[in-house]
Amino acid sequence: AQSVTQPDIHITVSEGASLELRCNYSYGATPYLFWYVQSPGQGLQLLLKYFSGDTLVQGIKGFEAEFKRSQSSFNLRKPSVHWSDAAEYFCAVGFQTGANNLFFGTGTRLTVIP
């Protein structure tokens, strides 16, 4: 069955430290991959997406993600976290099954400490 997993429910990092949020999927072919961010009380905003081509994609707010087919992963990274990055991060996967919907991971809550 198709699925997407975010193994970390909550991560705490210090401001200025690097960040990596994990995302793994289960699917027989290459999916479409997205990272969304949700600030408290807000809707979801797209950070970046991967469809094909270069496996390292750049997004907004200094985020990047790398698609690794061999590991079925699409981890989100940022070299230096800012306090304003504190939010909930969702990995989402679109599968090439003809259904036009996304499957979302359960989210990772990021806390940034001074």
Partner 1 sequence: DAGVIQSPRHEVTEMGQEVTLRCKPISGHDYLFWYRQTMMRGLELLIYFNNNVPIDDSGMPEDRFSAKMPNASFSTLKIQPSEPRDSAVYFCASSRPPLQETQYFGPGTRLLVL
Residue 101: CB minimum distance to partner 1, A: 5
CA–CA distance, 62 with 10 (Å, rounded to integer): 21
Nearer to partner 1, 9 or 114 (CB): 9
Residue 82: CB minimum distance to partner 1, A: 22
Nearer to partner 1, 23 or 81 (CB): 23
Extract long-range pairs of 95-98: CB within 8 Å, 24+ residues apart: 95/2, 95/27, 95/29, 95/31, 95/32, 96/29, 96/30, 96/31, 96/32, 97/2
**Footprint of partner 1 on this chain (CB under 8 A)?**
32, 34, 36, 41-46, 49, 51, 90, 94, 96, 99-107
Nearer to partner 1, 63 or 81 (CB): 63
Residue 40: CB minimum distance to partner 1, A: 11
Q: Residue 74, Cβ neighbours under 10 Å: how many?
A: 28
75 burial class (0-12, 13-18, 19+ CB within 10 angstroms)?
A: middle
Nearer to partner 1, 53 or 114 (CB): 53
Residue 42: CB minimum distance to partner 1, A: 6
